[in-house]
C-alpha cells in the first residue's frame, strides 16, 4: 500500500503532512524571503531555552553528528582536553570525533544502564587539571538513559571548565532552560523532538565565549565562528543551505508552538512511552533499564526469549504491519529499541503493541 510506515526510531521520525508539504517550494538561498525564515527559526529556537540574553544559535548543514563535530572543533582550542562522561555509544562517538579533530579526549566510563555520576566528574576534575572541557550526552540514545544536566553544569561552573552538551534526542521534549544551567555549546538537530525532517543541526553558544572561538576550527565548513559571523553580517548561510529542510523546520516549529511547546510535547511522549511499556509488558517484553531510568524518548527492550527469535525476521515482520523499529545498540545483550518521539500518539503505540503481539505469536508457532 502506498502509505508511509510509522517510524518508531530516534530520527528520522514520523512527521506531519503539514511539515512535509512545506518542502514543496523552491527557495533562493540569497533571497530575503528565505533569510527571513532562517532568522525566525533562530529566534524561535532561542526562545525554547529562554536563551536570548546570554546565548546565540548557529544553524549547521548536515546530520546531527556534523553539528557535534562543529561544536567540539569550534569551541575547543587546539590544545584543549575534553573529558567525555561516557555511558553509551554516542558518548564514545563524541570522543572519537574530538580525536579526529586533533584534540585530546578522555573517556570517563560508567555503566550504560545508569546515569553518569557528578561525584566521579568532580574527582576527575580535581585529579586532572589539564581538562579544559566536559562533554555530556543529555539523553544517551544508545540505551535511553537520561543524564543529570543541572548537576554536571554546576560542577563545570564551579571548576571553571567548559561544557559541551549533545542534547540531540532531548531538545524540545525535556526541559532545558538557559537560566538554570550554563554551558558553552548545546547541540540538537531538525529531525528529532522538533519532529521535522533530518538535514540540519543547530548549536547554542554562550555569548561570553564567542570571541575566544575565532581561529579554533581545523575545518573550513564546520567552523561555527565563521558561520555565525557570516550569518550576522549577511543574514545568509555561509555555504548552500538545505533550503527545503529549513522550510520544513520552520513549519514544524510553528506546530511545536501550537501544541503548547516543550511541556505539551513531553506530556505526549510520556503517554506514548507508558502505552508502549505497559502494552509490551503484557506480552512478556521487558525494558532493559530499571523503571526510574527509562526516558520517554526511546526505550530499549530485551529480545523475546524464543529460540526462533532473531531481530531481522522480527523487524521485517513488524515492518510488514507498518511499523519501523530500531535495532539495539548494546554490545553484550540482545535488545531492540522503540522510539516514543515523532508525530505520533498513544494510538500508534497501541497499534504497534498489537502488531508485535501478532508477529511474536506467528514466530513462536513456526517452529
Ligand atoms: C541522533 C543523535 C545524534 C546524531 O546522529 P546523526 O545520525 O548524525 O543525526 C547524536 N547524538 C545523539 C544522542 C543522538 O540521539
**252-292: per-residue pLDDT in tens?**
999 999 999 999 999 999 999 999 999 999 999 999 999 99
Ligand 1 contacts CB of residue 90 (under 6 A) = yes
Place of cell 540569497: 30
Ligand 1: centre distance to CA 64 (Å): 5
Asked if residue 12 has a cis previous peptide bond (ω within 30° of 0), the answer is yes
Ligand 1 contacts CB of residue 185 (under 6 A) = no
pTM for this entry? 0.97
Ligand 1 contacts CB of residue 326 (under 6 A) = no
Tens digit of each residue's pLDDT (9 = 90 or more) over 320-341: 999 999 999 887 889 999 999 9
CA distance linking residue 232 with residue 1, whole number of Å: 47
Say if residues 71 and 103 touch (Cβ distance below 8 Å): no
Mean pLDDT of 187-212: 98
Tens digit of each residue's pLDDT (9 = 90 or more) over 154-189: 999 999 999 999 999 999 999 999 999 999 999 999
Please give the domain boundaries of the chain with CATH numbers for all domains.
6-10+261-362 (3.90.1150.10), 18-257 (3.40.640.10)
Task: Single out the residue of 316, 355, 302, 272 nearest to residue 14, CA to CA.
Answer: 272
Look at residue 367 and tell me whether its pLDDT is greater than 60. no
Q: Mean pLDDT, the chain, as a whole number?
A: 96
Nearest residue (CA) to ligand 1, atom 2: 168
Contacts of 135 (CB under 8 A, 6+ apart): 72, 82, 83, 84, 85, 91, 94, 95, 98, 105, 164, 166
Nearest residue (CA) to ligand 1, atom 6: 64
- Burial of 316 (C-beta count, 10 Å sphere; 0-12/13-18/19+): exposed
Cα–Cα distances (Å) from 162 to 49, 133, 165, 202, in that order, read 19, 4, 10, 18
DSSP H or E segment with residue 210? none
Amino acid at each position: 500500500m502506498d502509505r508511509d510506515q510509522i517510524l518508531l526510531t530516534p530520527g528520522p521520525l514520523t512527521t506531519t503532512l503539514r511539515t512535509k508539504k512545506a518542502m514543496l517550494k523552491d527557495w533562493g538561498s540569497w533571497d530575503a524571503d528565505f533569510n527571513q525564515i532562517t532568522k525566525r527559526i533562530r529566534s524561535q529556537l532561542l526562545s525554547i531555552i529562554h536563551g536570548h540574553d546570554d546565548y546565540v544559535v548557529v544553524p549547521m548543514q548536515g546530520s546531527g553528528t556534523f553539528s557535534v563535530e562543529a561544536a567540539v572543533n569550534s569551541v575547543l582550542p587546539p590544545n584543549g582536553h575534553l573529558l567525555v562522561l561516557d555511558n553509551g555509544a554516542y558518548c564514545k562517538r563524541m570522543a572519537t570525533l574530538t580525536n579526529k579533530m586533533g584534540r585530546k579526549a578522555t573517556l570517563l566510563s560508567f555503566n550504560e544502564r545508569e546515569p553518569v555520576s557528578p561525584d566521579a566528574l568532580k574527582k576527575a576534575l580535581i585529579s586532572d587539571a589539564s581538562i579544559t572541557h566536559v562533554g555530556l550526552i543529555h539523553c544517551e540514545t544508545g540505551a535511553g538513559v537520561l543524564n543529570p544536566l543541572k548537576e554536571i553544569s554546576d560542577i563545570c561552573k564551579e571548576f571553571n571548565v567548559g561544557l559541551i552538551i549533545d542534547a540531540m534526542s532531548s531538545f524540545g521534549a525535556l526541559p532545558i532552560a538557559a537560566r538554570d544551567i550554563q554551558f558553552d555549546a548545546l547541540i540538537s538537530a531538525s529531525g528529532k523532538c522538533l519532529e521535522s525532517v533530518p538535514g540540519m543541526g543547530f548549536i547554542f553558544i554562550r555569548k561570553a565565549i564567542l570571541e575566544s572561538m575565532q581561529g579554533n576550527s581545523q575545518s573550513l565548513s564546520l567552523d561555527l565562528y565563521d558561520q555565525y559571523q557570516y550569518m550576522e553580517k549577511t543574514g545568509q548561510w555561509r555555504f548552500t543551505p538545505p533550503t527545503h529542510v529549513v522550510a520544513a523546520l520552520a513549519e514544524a516549529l510553528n506546530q511545536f508552538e501550537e501544541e503548547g511547546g516543550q511541556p505539551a510535547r513531553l506530556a505526549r511522549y510520556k503517554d506514548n512511552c507508558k502505552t508502549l511499556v505497559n502494552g509490551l509488558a503484557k506480552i512478556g517484553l521487558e525494558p532493559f533499564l530499571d523503571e526510574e531510568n527509562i526516558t520517554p524518548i526511546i526505550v530499549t527492550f530485551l529480545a523475546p526469549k524464543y529460540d526462533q527469535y532473531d531481530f531481522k525476521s522480527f523487524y521485517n515482520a513488524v515492518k510488514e504491519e507498518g511499523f519501523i523499529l530500531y535495532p539495539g545498540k548494546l554490545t553484550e545483550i540482545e535488545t531492540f529499541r522503540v522510539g516514543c518521539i515523532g508525530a505520533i500518539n498513544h494510538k500508534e503505540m497501541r497499534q504497534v503493541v498489537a502488531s508485535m503481539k501478532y508477529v511474536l505469536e506467528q514466530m513462536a508457532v513456526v517452529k
